[in-house]
Amino acid sequence: MFKDELKIWVKAGDGGNGCLSFRREKFIPKGGPDGGDGGDGGDVILEGDSSLNTFNKLRYRQHYKAERGEHGKGKNMHGRNGEPCIIKVPLGTIVKIEETGEIIGEILEDGQRLIVQKGGKGGRGNARFATSTNRAPRYFEEGEKVEQIRLKLELKLIADVSIVGFPNAGKSTLISKISNAKPKIADYKFTTLHPNLGIVEYGKFKSFVIADVPGLIEGASEGKGLGTRFLKHIERTRVLLHLIDGAMPEKGYLEDFFAIRKEIEAFNPDILKKRYVIAVNKVDSLCCKESLEEIKSFAGKNNIPFFLVSAVTGEGLKDMVNTLGEIVEEVKEKEPTKKEKEVKNEKTDFLDEV
């Protein structure tokens, strides 16, 4: 099962209460207040884990609660802070408050932490309220209470390359040949019911992550077939691999290509701005020579990398993989670094304040 959406209840820890206490020692009749502060409640934290690809491990638990802060004690002893509740999630997780739809943040890197709810502040003990005019205060603060909230987690897979195409174009066979992925393979449509991720090795100690997206059909943007449920997983991809069925195209090779582009555009036009490669699969049983010349001519005129491949025999796969790897490297080099992103966000925040 591939679970890419999840709703959970979370509650950060309440703050501990301050203490009402007075110093009591032999031969010291007026020791004064010595009530300590309560500890802070633990935070609820989401942490990115690159070993996870879905929410499957989280689906059996709906409630997460951090530890509350310990109450303050006499002799000016402060309560211990509560332990945080850390929830491991896959990279590409978007976190929203379900009631309002507000986006709290997203997890994009391994080990990245996002505090989704802060723990309550601990209350002050009566020792904190002593003054020159009130040397024996008989009041203290209770710890801050935290309300439970419901979060909606959405997953958008992070892959360098995504394979898109009609059902039975050979996407599952291809990803099984060039990567370590083990998808289900069969000779009927919609064999792939959820995205598969794999690592492709090329060149000398180089690699990239590839995703096999379930087959699209015309009208997918309107809910036909598997609809747009999995199109969101290619929004974060760097390069698209358009795979076309060379043996039994829905129409013609070029028509199939434009049909898929049309469905992607209807979902999110920005995806079409990504770099892409065209590959006609099943080169060992091509059926339309005129159509093949047409799509080759289109690719040549527009400087689009074009390949004739066979996922079964392996023909043409090495050159295609090397080209995909080179394009991924080029795209990565043009992406802003983490430090540049932080500077950009700081500038944006400053302009918003102004």
**Residue spans per domain, the chain:** 1-155, 161-334
226, pLDDT greater than 50: no
State the virtual CA torsion across 234, 240, 241, 242 in degrees, nearest 10. 80
The share of the chain scoring above pLDDT 70, in percent, equals 86
Please, what is the Cα angle at 253 between 252 and 258, to 5 degrees?
95
Question: Which residues are paired to 279 by β-bridges?
Answer: 243, 307
323, pLDDT greater than 80: yes
Mean pLDDT of 9-33: 90
Contact 43, 14 (CB under 8 A): no
| 285-322: pLDDT as tens digits | 887 788 889 999 999 999 999 999 999 899 999 999 99
Contact 15, 38 (CB under 8 A): yes
Mean pLDDT of 151-166: 88
For residue 139, give the DSSP letter.
-
pLDDT value for 345:
52
Which of 10-14, 95-99, 250-254, 314-318 has the largest mean confidence?
10-14
Give the CATH fold of the 161-334 domain: Rossmann fold (3.40.50)
Distance of CA 294 to the CA centre of its chain: 39
pLDDT value for 35:
94
pLDDT value for 341:
55
DSSP three-state, residue 161 = strand
The sign of the torsion formed by the CA atoms of 182, 232, 237, 113 equals negative
The terminus-to-terminus CA distance of the chain in angstroms comes to 48
Q: Which of 230, 223, 208 is nearest to 164 (CA)?
A: 230
What are the structure tokens assigned to 289, written together?
């020579």
Structure-token match 């986006």, residue found: 103
Q: pLDDT category, 195, cuts 50, 70, 90?
A: confident
Contact 236, 213 (CB under 8 A): no
Contact 40, 119 (CB under 8 A): yes
| 70-119: pLDDT as tens digits | 999 999 999 999 999 999 998 889 999 999 999 999 998 999 999 999 99
Contact 3, 44 (CB under 8 A): no
pLDDT value for 24:
83
Could you say which of 2.40.50.100, 3.30.2130.10, 1.10.1200.10, 2.70.210.12 is the CATH number of the domain covering 1-155? 2.70.210.12
